[in-house]
Amino acid sequence: MCNLYVKGPSHLSYILIFVSFFQWTTDQDITDAVLGVGVNDFVEVKFFENRANGQSKGFCVITLGSEPSMRMCMERLPKKELHGQCPVVTFPTKQALNQVVLKLVYFVCI
């Protein structure tokens, strides 16, 4: 199981996996969605891309500054539409990562 937090240079950071968004979703779209649910200690967003073509794999990791913000995102982000669809937000567990990969393989095979 992955850690829900990582120790940065000066503080703890809390991470979540943000899944199910379109390839044209930008870091600013994700940032706006996170800030729009009331989080005020958003740290960063990291997208995962296909090495061969540079396209997004459809998920990213968001880093937050506190546990209350992490819980707020878990509660509120799945109810917030982003380009017409509601994202899935989950803790960074090995099982969650495997489900993301299986989902992506399914979409590639269709």
Distance CA 56, CA 3 (A): 24
Does the predicted TM-score (pTM) go above 0.85? Answer: no
Rounded to the nearest 5 degrees, what angle is found at the Cα of 60, between the Cα atoms of 56 and 62? 150
Q: What is the pLDDT of residue 103?
A: 56
Domain boundaries, the chain: 5-109
Q: What is the pLDDT of residue 17?
A: 79
Both tokens of 14, joined, read: 């809390």
Q: What is the pLDDT of residue 2?
A: 44
- pLDDT tens, the chain, 110 aa long: 344 544 444 456 788 877 767 777 888 999 999 999 999 999 999 888 878 887 777 788 889 999 999 999 999 999 998 888 888 888 877 777 676 655 544 434 33
Q: Look up residue 69 and give its amino acid.
A: S
5-109: CATH, from 3.40.109.10, 3.30.70.330, 3.40.50.1980, 3.40.50.10490 = 3.30.70.330
